[in-house]
A and B are shown apart, each in its own frame.
Chain A
């Protein structure tokens, strides 16, 4: 069973702050991390390998420094890592990103399951995973909370829904996106860290994946950011201190017309 895990290097959004004067995002000193949902994808890929054999390849599209998350992926049990990086990819939206990654995956060829985190915490779109599946014309199972079985060229999984879950079966090769519930990622191992240190990370450019020029980067991206602004700050609330019964009475009175 060969698995491809798509990961993304993201700024730790919990450290991102707004400059009170310029209203710009202050990203100075914010560290880059593996997108948290992708950590579950890596763990699930490694578990599939441990159960069924084969290998796990981590792939990311990003600037050269995104190599860091690939090394981390190796320390967590991935066997191979590919960095898809080219100036020509700059400015990609989800459509162009999905296309680029699908071309890279097509070049890897030999895979049974592609695993993505359900979404990235910087963009929160959840669009790239299904986009890759559509480009490769393979089936998908999104929001997977458990892989129940893999046999005879089919995978059975539980797909989270708003109301609960569905048990879904599809044919391999396929793409799945995973939610937090699926596993608890392991910490790296020492042997993994040593392997990660010396691992050769393959770097693929646009020509290596035979990407069409008008489908990547700015040119291949139908959407553009027109305006960025900070959401209006919430007004200072009414904070009640003191004796509890009094606070409760005052609060409930204030909510008249809203809750009752």
Chain B
């Protein structure tokens, strides 16, 4: 029977579980934990808290994919825009190759679009053994319905055990629909992936609660295991022109391409210096910037480092920068190689959006600003003095 059980013989009444429960569902009665099932959501926080004593267990009885052992291979859903394969696809292929080698299976890439056929070879050079290509004018723009329909159809036919997709606006939208059509599990925004070789399940690790904790998610009994993966986390393989692979062009019945949605216009309002999700270096400004005009100073620094300009919510709300630049909980989550925070105090809402950056540099007048607690390097000083000096110095060395 599915559900949660407290083993009274093991429970020592320490009430760690009481503290851990976000729903106030647990009380300790006569030195034993008692769970109110009306309040419990089976979130497993208490099971975690009780790891040492192991007195709480959640028993899950779940459906399973029939012929689960017949699912073989690691797939990547390739994101392309205007016929250009996006860098994240190569990162995913690199990871897929690693996982597939461990499992002793092949890597396949699924490339959907228009005028993309000639891109298949590069996917092989980047780690794919097979590329399934559907090149059709109807697929010129990303559309949820035909993309999901074709992807689900290919999966049903070829039965991969794993499908990786970028955790981008396209990837998250389409794979969520695929998961429902196949009735399988999907884990969002993974930052680490590994496989368990005995049971062949994918260990999907992702940040939760705004990056305060990490959770490793499994889908033991369902195939394929679907995961969307954060951009700029996985390592791509250098292209190997000697790699051989198989390209399979697939035609589908016209009914596969129908869509109730149509794209009327694509507007690339965001220039390279603004696309903070792609940038390797981000220079961000906060409330201490004190005005829109002062962001010129950050653009100068970003210019020298070939980076983009970001901003905290405070600066966005003041109207100093457009929303596309916002880093943080209600903005974008970024993980550049270098993040330079200028006059940002480091509210938790901001930190959750940038704390997985490789190197964080903070410049702030207040030495006790929380931003310094996540910074690899910090300068205590006035941004209006430090930033121009920094720009000048980098100009000399870069």
Contacts and interface: CB of A to CB of B under 8 A. Distances in A.
Contacts of A124: 188-189, 207-208, 210
B48 A95 contact: no
A13 B352 contact: yes
- Residues of B contacting A: mostly: mixed
Contacts of A171: 260-261
Nearest to B326: A180
A225 B390 contact: no
A167 B63 CA distance: 40
B66 to A, nearest CB: 14
Contacts of B212: 13, 16-18, 25, 230
A200 interface: no
B41 interface: yes
A241 B377 CA distance: 11
B372 A169 contact: no
Contacts of B207: 124, 231
B354 to A, nearest CB: 12
B16 interface: yes
Contact of B169 (A36, A143, A174): A143
Contact of A222 (B209, B219, B265, B379): B219
A259 interface: yes
A248 B361 CA distance: 11
Contacts of A249: 393
B251 interface: no
B398 A259 contact: yes
A18 B176 contact: no
A226 to B, nearest CB: 5
A222 B41 contact: no
B208 A63 contact: no
B266 interface: yes
Contact of B144 (A28, A130, A234): A130
A87 B39 CA distance: 8
Contacts of B63: 214, 219-220, 222
Contact of B261 (A141, A214, A244): A141
23 contacts: A13-B209, A24-B49, A25-B209, A64-B39, A87-B37, A121-B329, A123-B208, A134-B176, A159-B169, A167-B265, A168-B261, A171-B261, A180-B323, A221-B185, A222-B63, A224-B44, A225-B216, A230-B214, A240-B377, A241-B367, A244-B381, A255-B338, A258-B337
